[in-house]
Amino acid sequence: MMENDNRVGVGGSSDDLPNNKDDSNNNDLLDSGSAGTQPKKKRKEITPRSKAWNHFDKVVENGMSGAKCRYCHQFHTYSSINGTTALNQHLARCSIYKSTIETISQSKINFSSIDARAPLWKFEQEVVRKALVEMIIMDELPFGFVEKEGFKKFMSQAQPLFRIPSRRTITRDCYALYSELRYNLKKSFREIQPKICLTTDTWTSMQRINYMCLTAHFIDRNWVLHKRILNFCPISSHKGEQMAEAIGNCLLDWNLDNVFSVTVDNASSNSVMITELSKQLDMWGTNIMKGKHLHVRCMAHILNLIVQEGLKEIDISVKRVRQMVRYVRSSSARTRNFVKCCEVQKIDCSKTLLLDVPTRWNSTYLMLEAAQNFEKTFDRFDLSDEHFKTYLSTHICEDGSIVGTLACDDWANVRSVVKFLEKFYELTIKVSGSHYVTSSVHFEDICELDVYLKLCLTSEDVNLKNMADGMMKKFKKYWGTPDKMNSMIYIAFVLDPRNKFVYVSFGLEELFGEENGKKVDKQVKAYMETLFEEYLRKYSKESQYQSSPSRSTLSDLSDSSSSCSQNSRTKSLRTKLHMKKQKENSGSGAAKSELERYLKEDQEPEHDDFDVLSWWKVNAPRFPILSELARDVLAIPISSVASECAFSTGGRILDRFRSSLTPKCVQSLVCAQDWLRKEPNSICVEESLEYLEKLELEMANSGRDSCIIDV
C-alpha cells in the first residue's frame, strides 16, 4: 500500500495509474520523445450536448450507425449532419417514455409532500444523552444499564454515532439534571409565590436510614392543582422536634414560608412536629389564624384504623382464608392443581388469588373479594390435595395461633364483610388522589360514613352489627366532637358552590345533634368571616401600598386646589365629608359583601363532571378576595398518600443491588422522577402577574379618590 501511495502522489488515485493495455503506448511516447519528436496528446472525448442522448444509446445494426431508444428499443438512423431532431420527435411519440415520466413525477410529488410534513431531525449528542438520563430516572434503571452488552448492541443499530457514556458519567448527569429541574422549579416558586399545603411522612430504608418526604401542593393562577416533592432527605430520628427542624430548613432552602396546612398521619410525634412548626411560622410572620387550621389529619390513615377495628370481629375467618390462599400460592404445582379444579367446577372468573398485607386493610379487602369467587374451587381442591387440611389444622400463624380448617359460616362472613367494606375501599381510593381537589368533599364523606355506620348498627346480621359498633367507636374518637376536627373541613365544603352553608348546617345537625350542630354552625360562620377578614386585610394593604399617591401628585393637587373657586372648594369639602362618612359607616363592609354575595347566590346544580376549580377560574373576577381564599383552601390534601407513594419509589431504587447509593443520590433520583412525571400543565406564572395587577387596580379604585381628598 505504501508503494502504491508513492506512485499515485498527493491528490492522486489508483484510477490515475496507467493500466497494462496502455503501457505500450506510453513506451512509444517515451521513445518518440527521446528521438527528439514531440509526443502526440490523446484527444479528450467530447460529451454529447443534446439531451436526447439521455434516452438513446449509439449502436450499429446491419452495418448502419444509429440510435436505439432505451424505453421501446426502436432503432433510428443517425448522422452528425441530420442531428437529433428525429430522436426528439420519437420521444414525443413514445408511449412507454410518457408513462415513465408520469410515474417519476408522481413519486416526486408524494415524496416532497411527505418530506414537507415530516419534522427535520438532526442528531445531537447532548440531546440524546439527556434523553437517556431521563429514561434511567423515570424507569428506575441502574446506572450500569449503559454498560450492558444488549444496550450497546441496540444503540449500534439505532444510532451508531451516539457515544455511550459510562456509569460514572450517567451518575453525574442524573445529579446535573436534578439540579437543573430544581433550579427551574425554584424559579417558578419565586415568581408565582404560592401559598403551599404540605404532606409529609417518614420511612426507614433497608440501609437503616430514616428518610422524610416533604411534598408541596398548590394551585397556580390558571387554577391548576400541582403536586411537587420538595425533599426526600435523611433525618436524625422520628421525633417531632427533629422533623420540624428538617421541614423548616427545607422551606428556607426553597424560599417558601407561606405554609397554609400540613397533612400528616396520627402518630404522636406528628402533633409535636406541628406545634414546633407553628412556632417557626409565627417567627416568620406567615402563620395565618395563629395556626388553628395548620394540622390536617390524614383521612386515609383514619379509615385504616376504623376498618382494622371492625375486622377484629371476624378475624378468625379472615385468617383462615389467608392461610388457604397462602397454601395455594406457595408452589407452582399447587397453583396448577387449583386451576384444574377451577376448570372442573366451571368457574369462569378472570381474577386470581391475592395474598394480602395484614397491616393494610385494603389489600385484605382485595384478597377476600377475589377469594369469595372460588368457594367451590376450594372445596374441590380439598378433595384433590391430601395435605390441605393438615396444613390448615397444624400451621401456626404470625401471632402464634392455629386457625384450623374452614368452618361452615366462614364464607358467609367473608361475603358480608366484602359487601360492607366496599364503600370504605371506594372512599379510600377517592381521598388518596393528589391531582384533583379532595378537600371540598371531605365533610360530605364524613357525614355519609356516619350515616352508613348508623345504618349498619341496626342490621340483623350479628357480625356486621358488631363490626359497625367497633368502627363507630373509632369514628367518634377522631370525628365525634367538633374540637377534634379541623375547621378547614367545613370551609372547603362551603367554598364548593354546589354546597355553601345549606348542606353544612344540615350535616352538622346530623353529625353532632340538633343543639350542638347549631352551635358548631355559628362557630364555623364566625371562623369563616374572621379568615376572610385576614385575607381582606392582607390584600387591602398590598393594594393601598401600590396605589398610594406620590409627593409630586400631592403638591400638584395642593396648587390646583388653591386656584379653585369658592364653589369648587365647597364641593370638594362636601365630597370629602361624604367619603369620610361612607368610610366610617361601612368600614370593610363593602368588601365583606363579596363573601355575603357568594353565600346568598343560588347553589350550582349537582352533576358528576362538575369541576370546582374551573368554576372559580371563571368567577374569580367577581370574587377577587374570596377566590384567593378558595385557591389556598381547595389545595389542601386530606391524605398523606402523596408522600407515602414516594417511599415505594425509594424502596425500588434502594433494593439489595443498589444499597450503596448515598442519600444525596437517592434524593436526586426520587425528586427528579416526580418532576419529570409531573402533570402536562406547566406552572402558570405570567398570568399570575397580570392577575395581581388587575386585582390591585380593582381594589385601589375605591380608595384612590379618598386618599387624594384626605391630603
Lowest mean pLDDT among 177-181, 481-485, 679-683: 679-683
With beta carbons less than 8 A apart as the criterion, state whether 69 and 90 touch. Answer: yes
Which pLDDT does position 16 carry in this prediction?
A: 41
Distance from C-alpha of 661 to C-alpha of 353, rounded to nearest angstrom: 36
Which whole number is the average pLDDT over 327-351?
A: 88
Which whole number is the average pLDDT over 445-458?
A: 91
Asked if pLDDT for residue 681 goes beyond 70, the answer is no
Q: What percent of the chain has pLDDT over 70?
A: 76
For cell 367473608, name the residue: 414
Give the residue extent of every domain in the chain. 53-113, 174-298+640-679, 304-480+493-515
CA 553 to chain centre: 50
Asked if pLDDT for residue 638 goes beyond 70, the answer is yes
Helix H or strand E segment including 91: helix 85-93
Asked if pLDDT for residue 427 goes beyond 80, the answer is yes
Q: What percent of the chain has pLDDT over 90?
A: 30
Spell out where 442-493 has E strands: none
Contacts 24+ apart (CB under 8 A), 468-471: 468/310, 468/420, 470/309, 470/310, 470/312, 470/313, 471/306, 471/307, 471/309, 471/310
Asked if pLDDT for residue 66 goes beyond 70, the answer is yes
Name residues whose C-beta falls within 8 Å of residue 26's C-beta, 6 or more positions apart in sequence: 18
With beta carbons less than 8 A apart as the criterion, state whether 237 and 269 touch. Answer: no
Instruction: Give the confidence band of 537 by pLDDT, cuts at 50, 70, 90.
Output: confident
With beta carbons less than 8 A apart as the criterion, state whether 251 and 280 touch. Answer: no
Instruction: Give the confidence band of 592 by pLDDT, cuts at 50, 70, 90.
Output: low
Which pLDDT does position 103 carry in this prediction?
A: 58
Which whole number is the average pLDDT over 640-661?
A: 76
Number of neighbours of residue 501 by Cβ within 10 angstroms: 16
Higher per-residue pLDDT: 36 or 308: 308
Lowest mean pLDDT among 44-53, 329-338, 452-461, 559-568: 559-568
Instruction: Give the confidence band of 580 by pLDDT, cuts at 50, 70, 90.
Output: low
CA 522 to chain centre: 39
Cβ-count burial 28-37 (b if 16+ within 10 Å, e if not): eeeeeeeeee
Instruction: Give the confidence band of 69 by pLDDT, cuts at 50, 70, 90.
Output: confident
Q: Is pTM beyond 0.85 here?
A: no
**Ranked by mean pLDDT, which of 24-33, 541-550, 556-565, 675-684 comes out on top?**
675-684
Which pLDDT does position 554 carry in this prediction?
A: 32
Q: pLDDT tens for residues 230-280?
A: 999 899 888 899 999 999 999 999 999 899 999 998 888 999 999 999 999
Length of the chain as a residue count: 711
Lowest mean pLDDT among 276-285, 549-558, 615-624, 699-708: 549-558
Which whole number is the average pLDDT over 666-684?
A: 80
- Look at residues 649, 643, 645, 639 and name the one whose alpha carbon lies nearest to residue 200: 643
Name residues whose C-beta falls within 8 Å of residue 359's C-beta, 6 or more positions apart in sequence: none
Q: pLDDT tens for residues 281-302?
A: 999 988 988 888 899 999 989 9
Which pLDDT does position 192 carry in this prediction?
A: 86
With beta carbons less than 8 A apart as the criterion, state whether 640 and 199 touch. Answer: yes
Q: pLDDT tens for residues 340-399?
A: 999 888 888 878 888 888 777 888 889 999 998 898 898 888 888 888 888 888 877 766
Asked if pLDDT for residue 576 goes beyond 60, the answer is no
Higher per-residue pLDDT: 220 or 709: 220
Instruction: Give the confidence band of 40 by pLDDT, cuts at 50, 70, 90.
Output: low
